[in-house]
Amino acid sequence: MPDPAREPVRIPVKAVGPQSPKEPPKEPAKPWLETVPGLLTAVGGVIAAVATLIAALNAAGIVGGADPTPTPTSTATHTATATATHTATLTATPTSTAAPTSTAAPTSTAAPTALPSPTPTVAPTSTSVAALPWSDDFEDPSSGFAHQAEGESYVMGYVDGAYSIRLTAPEYEAWSLTDGVGELDDFSAEVDAWLAEGLEDNDFGLLLRYQDKAGDQPASGDQPASGDFYLFAISSDGYYRAQLFQGGAWRDLVAWTASPHIRVGGEVNRLRVDCLGPRLRFYANGVLLVELVDETLRRGALGLSAGSGAEPGSDIRFDNLLVRPAAP
């Protein structure tokens, strides 16, 4: 069966007038559509050649082939960016938390230490006659205190292996200084003391840092108008006090205060004083009763003191005196 696409197309001519005489028929011209199949065939050949060329180039790796690298590039960029961001964040966190290191402010909390330093900064050089420790058991009447002294209001001296101060007048204070150790600045002294006879209305204890304004230190005597000193005393009814005698007048540093650590009546009390610069500590039977600071007197002689109340007749005894360097 003939191919319709290749069959020549014939267009009839309609007569519109009287027919002219017939001329011999001519070979009709081929229409342009008849050339299309040839053109398509040529184009198909070109396309096939181009495809063959591309395939050859692709096989040679010149065109196409390996996957393009932009994807790995973008992946690497993403990874690097994420890593950098994470690292920066971690680094920034410790930096901010390092701020507490600046809380060295607690160092300023050392400022509230208001207590005086236990070590004196301007302690005078000691001129003690005897090296410390020094002691006196009062068995030897020539040990350093007044061997025997008597006045209108007192009698004092060595009695039965102890030192006695007996008051014969009311409201009277008498003392005896030792020249066994001379002047002292910083020291600790302790002694046994008790009421041997008389009323409990009394006082007795240690006299400290005595300075005689007349120039000479008397071995014993009544209440001096020319000397300055500290006095730590207790009473036989369970009280203690600390005083400064200066310029002929008494001043209470600690007024009479009751203490359960003081033995009453005729019992023996072990009294102790520590002098360290301006710091003064007073003890009874190993218990600290009071600690105070006073700048008035920094050195002087050591003595024993006793006083009477409203009624005379108290006989106070002292024994086992020990003087040694002050403990800080």
Per-residue pLDDT reduced to its tens digit, 84-140: 333 333 333 333 333 333 333 333 333 332 323 222 222 333 344 457 899 999 999
Give 78's pLDDT tier (boundaries 50, 70, 90). Answer: very low
Residue with the two structure tokens 């009479």: 256
Report d(CA 243, CA 254) in Å as an integer: 7
Closest CA to 192 of 323, 322, 318: 318
pTM over 0.85, yes/no: no
Chain length of the chain: 328
* Structure tokens belonging to residue 40: 């398509």
Given its phi and psi angles, is residue 157 left (phi above 0), alpha (psi -120 to 50 degrees) or beta?
A: left
CA 295 from chain centre, in angstroms, equals: 30
Q: Could you tell me the residue ranges of all domains in the chain? A: 34-61, 134-324
Peptide bond into 68 cis (omega under 30): no
H or E stretch at 94 = helix 70-97
Question: Could you confirm whether domain 134-324 is CATH 2.60.120.560?
Answer: yes
Q: Which long-range contacts (CB under 8 A, 24 or more apart) does 7-15 make?
A: 8/34, 9/33
Which tens digit of pLDDT belongs to each residue from 152-176? 899 999 999 999 999 999 999 999 9
Q: Which amino acid is at 124?
A: P
